Structure 1
Amino acid sequence: MSARVSPDGSTATAGDGATPLLSAEGLRVVFPGRRGAPPARAVDGVDLDVGAGEIVALVGESGCGKTTLARSLLGLVRPTGGTVRFAGAPLAYTGKALKAYRKRAQLVLQDPSGSLNPRHTVYDAVAEGLRIHGYAGDERAAVAEALSRAGLRPPERFFLRYPHELSGGQRQRVVIAGALVLEPELIVADEPVASLDASVRGEILALLLRLRDELGLSALVVTHDLGLAWNIADRVAVMYLGRIVETGPVESVLTNPRHPYTQALLSVLPESEGEPVVLTGEPPDPARIPSGCRFHVRCQVLASGAADAVADRCRTEDLPVLGGGGRSAAACHWARQG
């Protein structure tokens, strides 16, 4: 069992409180290297829980492993190591088990245009999941209810439309309706508003919140935008180079960030006070993860000399995996000394 780190740096075991709806423990996804290169550790030891009726934001730069982690949680990428559990039961990777699981956990992608077949009507796009899973009820009524829940009313007005006849926001609502029609318990939304105009983004976020309140739906929202996390999430997990480096209730993390990486991400938000932190370089290659703290080569606190007391540890001593539950914690030698 992986070590869990509490806010004071002590460790505890998982299992406190109710069983999470979705849980990952020690999750690893390693891709083979090309032409003799070392394997890439895209997800390198992650514990992450999503409770019933909870919205968790998974935040980080492009290339940090967020999407690979999300896809592995849905069984779309088989982990190299670790365990995924849904409602307490380990995820099985047989075709039958995965088909049953994907009825309960649905993916919503960032590009609604790419998610919808341009030759299919809205009705067929939403009904596709029902047909795949052999739905025996009233298909027309189920499609109408899903469209209505997604905010497309009256739903019959959209049945025979094609994606090119819809706005970007309407297309994203169709994608969400296609997930809702199977009555899932969890949705994983990968950058759900990244391709939308600012005027529409708030509507889609409000929709996700309403679905949580009305249906008890859980959600893992994958995003690079901490502002989005602030508006929608109950809890946030900040990811860097394959690991969760800070986690906790959204207000705690975003008003009092402890990890220098989280501080840097927050500093560039328009409403942030003070000077923005410009991180040097790109995140390291996941095939060549630095020793010690994986952020130390870009860390603005270490570079400024403020972390000289722990500088050697930052460069050489690895940090334990953060717990996946609700406790606030940061994988940072400098934060833990405070």
Structure 2
Amino acid sequence: MTTAPPLLRVESLRITFPGRNGTPAVRAVDGVDLGIRPGEIVALVGESGCGKTTLARSLLGLVKPTAGRVTFDGAPLDYSSRALKAYRKRAQLVLQDPSGSLNPRHTVYDAVAEGLRIHGHHGDERAAVAEALSRAGLRPPERFFLRYPHELSGGQRQRVVIAGALVLEPELLVADEPVASLDASVRGEILALLLRLRTELGLSALVVTHDLGLAWNIADRVAVMYLGRIVETGAVEQVLTAPRHPYTQALLSVLPEASGDPVVLGGEPPDPSRIPSGCRFHVRCHVLAGGEAERAGVHRACRGQDLEILGGSGEAQVACHWARAREDTAPAAS
């Protein structure tokens, strides 16, 4: 996994939406590099409104980039209808709300078989549906064929959605908050299912979440996103046990198992149509507000010097003047 070339690669991706009534354009994704290798699970973490879902949708061709490109299996994504149809057999989306993803008038069988019918499957449809349901943990699968969504629990509905993605035998799952609408008792089961699918099928996955605890439990690597850009990335253990960016530190500080006082961020994230100069986090940064950035001699850079886009190679990286200054002045290990 560490040496294989990325199955999915995002390069300098930007997605801008036109403003309304003369307002500036919204820079929803403002320069992202990201790679996902075969069999790797990457967690994309950040607050609501930071651009996570827009980025995830762009990976499936649902939103066309303003600039940059998405590459899958070495080939740039083709946005023609025919090419996207073929691509979506290899890359599937799992949404947050299973109730909204399932037609209440369709049985479980029809919901799972829908993808096969769209893509003109020529094999044994019943066997394929049964296998997908079984892989998703609904056994015996025949017991669920004629049930309707309202007859299932929330966890069972999410398993049906996952089965509907698995039936096409994809190589990549993009899961947008896959357990956010589920009871705590069911979340662990769905996360365990995703991990088992990675082991059994070699699936790659991008899991979009605001929950760093979820990232810790499922991901190999984490990318922390703020205001349209990834600000810290690396192996999940490295980022979540020794966060370098003040934003990552703040997100981790409010977890129940965190030690010390929680970091309270001031205000809401800035308007993505008016991204601040310098570090985009500086207007809410407790390190800058507390004088630590000034003591490190980077307070002016924080307010006025933009940081480059982090690479998508997978190595540990941080977009923070203060964090880099600390590392530059840290004594070398003997």
TM range (shorter): over 0.9
Residue 326 of structure 1 aligns with which residue?
Answer: 314
Partner of 2:176: 190
Identity %: 83
3-state secondary structure, aligned to 1:19 = coil
- Post-superposition CA distance 1:145-178 (Å, at most 9, x none): 0000000000000000000000000000000000
Task: Work out which structure has the larger RCO, using CA pairs closer than 8 Å and 6 or more positions apart in sequence.
Answer: 1
Q: Residues 3-152 of structure 1: matches in 2 within 5 Å?
A: 17-152=3-138
**Which stretches of structure 1, 4 residues or longer, exceed 6 Å deviation after superposition?**
none
Deviation sequence 1:187-239 (CA, Å, 0-9, x none): 00000000000000000000000000000000000000000000000000000
Q: Over aligned residue pairs, what C-alpha RMSD do you find?
A: 0.7
Distance 2:225 2:170 in 1: 26
Aligned match of 1:258: 244
Q: Residue 334 of structure 1: CA displacement?
A: 0.2
Distance in 2 (CA, whole Å) between partners of 1:17 and 1:313 is 35
1:337 aligns with 2:325: yes
- Alpha-carbon distance in structure 2 between the residues aligned to 1:70 and 1:134: 26
In the TM superposition, residue 326 of structure 1 has moved relative to its aligned partner by: 1.4
Distance (Å, rounded) in 2 between the aligned partners of 1:318 and 1:288: 14
Post-superposition Cα deviations, 1:87-106, rounded to whole Å, max 9, x if no partner, equal 11100111111000000000
Does 1:157 find its partner at 2:121?
no
The corresponding residue for 1:314 is 302
Residue correspondences, number = 323
Distance 1:251 1:44 in 2: 27
| 1:325 positional shift | 1.7
Ranges in structure 2 where 5+ consecutive residues have no aligned partner: 327-334
Match status 1:284 vs 2:270: yes
> SS at 1:67's partner residue?
helix
Q: Distance in 1 between matches of 2:102 and 2:59?
A: 23
Q: State the distance in 2 between where 1:238 and 1:264 align.
A: 12
Offset of 1:260 from its aligned partner?
0.1
Matches of 1:278 and 1:74, distance apart in 2: 35
Residue aligned with 1:134, SS: coil
Distance 2:275 2:3 in 1: 34
Shift of 1:19: 1.7
Structure 1 match to 2:229: 243
CA distance in 1, matches of 2:3, 2:203: 19
Taking the aligned partners of 2:188 and 2:239, their CA distance within structure 1 comes to 22
Structure 1 distance, partners of 2:93, 2:192, is 18
Say which SS state the counterpart of residue 30 (structure 1) adopts.
Answer: strand
Q: Distance in 1 between matches of 2:103 and 2:183?
A: 22
Letter in 2 for 1:304: G
Whether 1:176 aligns to 2:162 is yes
Greater Cα offset, 323-332 or 230-239: 323-332
Using the alignment, how far apart are the partners of 1:17 and 1:213 within structure 2? 18
* Counterpart amino acid of residue 333 in structure 1: H
Q: What is the DSSP-based 3-state SS (H/G/I as helix, E as strand, rest coil) of the residue aligned with 1:297?
A: helix
Match of 2:219 in 1: 233
Residue 132 (structure 1) shift: 0.2
Match for residue 207 of structure 2?
A: 221
Could you tell me whether the CA contact under 8 Å between 2:4 and 2:38 is conserved in 1? no
Q: Give the partner amino acid of 1:74.
A: L
> Cα deviation per residue 1:55-77 (whole Å; 9 max; x = unaligned)?
00000000000000000011000
SS at match of 2:273: coil
Shift of 1:18: 2.9
Work out the CA distance in 2 between the residues paired with 1:176 and 1:20: 23
Q: CA deviation at 1:17?
A: 4.2
What does residue 6 of structure 1 align with? none
- Aligned 8 A contact 2:43 2:219 in 1: yes
Measure the CA separation in 2 of the matches of 1:273 and 1:197. Answer: 26
Once the two structures are superposed, what CA deviation does each residue of 1:119-144 show, in whole Å capped at 9, x if it has no partner?
00000000000000000000000000
Q: Alpha-carbon deviation of 1:300?
A: 0.6
Task: State the distance in 1 between where 2:155 and 2:12 align.
Answer: 37
Counterpart of 2:150 in 1: which secondary structure? helix
